[in-house]
Chains A and B, each alone.
Chain A
Amino acid sequence: MMGIKVKTIYFLITIALVSCKNTNSLQRYFVDKQEDSRFLKVDLATSMLKTEQTNLTQEQEDIFDIVKKINIVAYPLKDKNNKVEYQKEYTRIKEILYQENYEDLATLKSNNTIVNLRYSGKENTIDEVIAFASNTEKGFGVLRLLCHNMKPEQIPKLINMIRVGDLDVTQLSVIKNIFDEISF
């Protein structure tokens, strides 16, 4: 009897650990990759952007209140030699992204590039927006926006801001460079 109880407890602990691990695995992935020289990375807290920019519109300021962090991790495929490694990393990130916590929004593939959009949270309070782009010849990249109660209506404004490059901060130009590097 005792034996069964202990087993159950171990079992439950394992499950708990596994599920905890799963909900944080993208976060862990980002943290791990900071130390990995093969990856290009950007870790941007919008609070910094806010203080550096003095001419933000109210709208832009509001967006910054909602998007807490921008993370990008990219693995450029520079030469044919790291294809095996690349495949390993690609499989790994795909596994992490395809777990249940993320809602699959859309996938678009054109030429050799695939972009997949996901989010976590609820429809009206989005916690994370993830864009996963990969190109069989150029590499892959993951963009994550960590948000605080983001409402869907705010997404187009946000995308427009990033796209238009309104924000002239060196770190954002790093983002641009990374995407240029991958040049989808």
Chain B
Amino acid sequence: MPASGDLIQAAAGGALIGLASVLLLAFNGRIMGVSGIWSNLIRASEGFGWRLAFVAGTVAAPLLVGVLRGGVEIQVDAPTPLLALAGLLVGAGTALGSGCTSGHGICGISRLSPRSITATLIFMAAGFVSVAIMRHVIGGGA
């Protein structure tokens, strides 16, 4: 169980994420669904400019936070083959399912979308099972 300070930061960070999605909708009329933003960016389908700007902001943000807090530390345990497989499934799954944690989980639920509520419940459950198998059945891994 993490420290209470971490959980407070979780709440603050969550609020920022929510705010980001509201701003994008209020001003640009766009859904802050990162899988869609990225997928359309790499296919140069439409809205290349704002999509690139959003991605640039997302990439730059940890650097700015790091400046204020003396660095950002994360732990990426997955070995390269597993990392690549994970990426492949996340890419294929979000494309097929039309969304991810930000698109369905935040924006879709905020719109009370039955599709998004369903999608979120399913990918959450799948995530739980995936980790349970990786950590408690197979052992080791990520």
Please indicate whether A and B come from the same complex rather than being unrelated chains.
no
- Which B residues contact A (CB, under 8 angstroms)? none
